[in-house]
Structure 1
Amino acid sequence: MTWTGKNEVVHEPLARDEMEAMLKDVDASYAIRHVPKGAMVIWPGEADDNHYYVAEGSVECFRLDRDGRKKVIDRYGEGMFFGYHILRDDCMPMSTMRCEEDSRLVVIPKESFFKLLHGSPKFADRCVRYLFGVLSMQTNEMLNQSFYDTGQRVPMLLSGLVSERLSEGAFDERGVLIPLGNNEIADMLGVSRNSVTSVVSRLQAQGIVEKQRNALRVIDPERLADIARREQE
């Protein structure tokens, strides 16, 4: 499961042959990089003058605070681009990118990125819509953090993830499986694991979710959605 529910633009993967055709049309160069699971691609505070396309695998984007607490910003699966820090003059990233599995990345140098941006209307359109999605995502998160506590934000997030899984057809008679543990949910929200565990335990006592090993099964999606809606009223 690639978590991208906060930015709808990245739900539109681009086929590799189409991506390579765009590069060829503007005479842009690129390289293929094999990155093993757990290896870093980008570090904050270290300039990186490349843009990236995920040909295989998945990449997690996150930040750590001064206490070492992790906040997941997004995850990128096959057919997705990342590395928009090269729009900055110093090419200085603000987040860490790490491969969640063995991955094959297409590395696009800054010069080639700008060839694409200026020479391919389709690529430019994707970039603008993606960056607007990031702005919308961050604004929404800021408002959620201001208006809702963890007890409210957890069911809101879970309900969103259920909707994403349902759109993928990932459900059966036992409910909807979300292949994320409490740690991953805490990382998404930037809160402590204990606070998430407390909320999940309450939802389990209500018969809405069922805790499994490194996963949650939502057995009553309608009640979860109802709780999420009430929290936002």
Structure 2
Amino acid sequence: MKKILVIEDNAGIRENVTEILELANYKVFTAEDGKTGIELALQEKPDLILCDVMMPQLDGFGVLHLLHKNPAIRNTPFIFMSARAERSEMRKGMELGADDYITKPFEKTELLQAIECRLKRVEWLKQDFVQHEAPVNGNGHANGYSKTTNERDILSLLSENRDITKYKRKQIIYVEGNRPARLYYIKKGKIKTYKTNEEGKELIVGIYGEGDFLGYVALLEGTVYKDRAEAMENTELAVIPKDEFDALMNTRREVVTRFMTMMAKNITEKEQLLLGLAYNSLRKKVADALITVNRKYKSSINLSRENLAAIAGTATASMIRTLSEFKSEKLIDISDGAITILNEKELENLLN
């Protein structure tokens, strides 16, 4: 029988949630404040924790923060329950590492589905770990574990059955200096990462599109974000909690290989960016920016001239002038602001 800890200061809500969970065949422990909740969590080692946000002595954010400091319970699925439905509150909870955020009043089915989803994911991760630790047979595969399963696609492993967060154009995803609590996988849309100097000038250091992972550098380095991420269009992101990502990195060799390769590529791209900014002519900078963005868009480039200039590291006026030159040379075409590359090979030759 799975054990669930309910931390809730409102007696009526606490009793109601307990009744729902017991009818669903869960063993329930309850605490009326955050301090007692942490003591119970350490004592009972629950399979999942439901926690209110606003409580006396220690609020829900404090509870989650302290739980993550204890290795014995830091990976326990954690779901916030709160009457506060403001987006900022939800974002704060998720950034601290919560697995879900349910707003009160909630339906019985909504609560149970959220719990079942988190518990199933934990079981799946445990089974996956056991299978990868199983003895290896003469064919080089774990006994009782098929080659097809063993080579499960990493993208599916990390991106399927995840919470989806939607961002509108120009909405900030994370900011420089914040500590990462999750990995992002782009299901739809495009995102830019950028830095700004003391004068407020923006330099775009990365463009990410559908199928890309975002925010993995800070996670792998164990540091804060060193840039800011912003949606360039309406975007949908699958969210992988840091604890799950860490668990996969500790148990799946192919996941480690994939992200180490991405990390190395990221370093190479940053080095090339710095060299280009330092030594490339204006035409080379613009050509390089167009080729880079075109590989992400895989169609007409529909970016503002300000964003293109920020990618190339040039002034907006210089970008506009160079694009006009490229158009007259029939290297590109421009229609309603969208740029189509007509001669990519010739643009690449400009870089040599």
The reply to whether residue 86 of structure 1 matches residue 225 of structure 2 is no
The reply to whether residue 105 of structure 1 matches residue 237 of structure 2 is yes
Residue in 1 aligned with 2:207?
75
Moved more, 93-102 or 202-211: 202-211
CA distance in 1, matches of 2:329, 2:245: 51
The reply to whether residue 201 of structure 1 matches residue 324 of structure 2 is yes
Q: Tell me which of 160, 172, 176 is aligned to 1:40.
A: 172
Q: Tell me which of 325, 333, 341 is aligned to 1:210.
A: 333
Aligned 1:1-233 pairs, distance under 5 A: 17-19=156-158, 31-84=163-216, 85-89=218-222, 91-159=223-291, 164=295, 168=298, 170=299, 177-219=300-342, 221=343, 225-226=345-346, 228-232=348-352
Question: Do the aligned partners of 2:154 and 2:255 also contact (CA within 8 Å) in 1?
Answer: no
Question: Do the aligned partners of 2:305 and 2:316 also contact (CA within 8 Å) in 1?
Answer: yes
CA distance in 2, matches of 1:206, 1:97: 35
Q: What amino acid does structure 2 have at the position aligned with 1:148?
A: N
Change (3 A) 1:156 1:41: closer
Higher relative contact order (CA 8 A, sep 6+): 1
Change (3 A) 1:102 1:165: closer
SS of 2:233's equivalent?
A: coil
Q: What amino acid does structure 1 have at the position aligned with 2:277?
A: Q
CA distance in 2, matches of 1:230, 1:57: 30
CA distance in 1, matches of 2:169, 2:333: 29
Shift of 1:46: 2.4
Normalising by structure 2, what TM-score? 0.49
Shift of 1:132: 0.5
Q: Which runs of 5+ in 1 are unaligned?
A: 1-13, 24-29, 171-176
Change (3 A) 1:212 1:87: same
CA distance in 1, matches of 2:201, 2:333: 26
CA distance in 2, matches of 1:165, 1:102: 16
Question: Do the aligned partners of 1:42 and 1:98 also contact (CA within 8 Å) in 2?
Answer: yes
Q: What amino acid does structure 2 have at the position aligned with 1:229?
A: N
Larger Rg: 2
CA distance in 1, matches of 2:158, 2:171: 24
CA distance in 2, matches of 1:212, 1:94: 36
Change (3 A) 1:57 1:207: closer
Residue in 2 aligned with 1:10?
none
Change (3 A) 1:131 1:101: same
Question: Do the aligned partners of 2:159 and 2:185 also contact (CA within 8 Å) in 1?
Answer: no
Question: Do the aligned partners of 2:159 and 2:240 also contact (CA within 8 Å) in 1?
Answer: no
Change (3 A) 1:75 1:230: closer
CA distance in 1, matches of 2:296, 2:241: 35
Change (3 A) 1:64 1:227: same
Shift of 1:165: 8.0
Shift of 1:15: 7.8
Matched pairs, number: 199
Normalising by structure 1, what TM-score? 0.71
Q: What amino acid does structure 2 have at the position aligned with 1:225?
A: K
Change (3 A) 1:158 1:103: closer
CA-to-partner distance for each residue in 1:56-97, whole Å, 9 max, x for gaps?
3332222222222222222223332111212344x4101111
List structure 1 segments (4+ residues) > 6 angstroms apart after TM superposition.
none
Shift of 1:103: 3.1
Q: Which runs of 5+ in 2 are unaligned?
A: 1-152
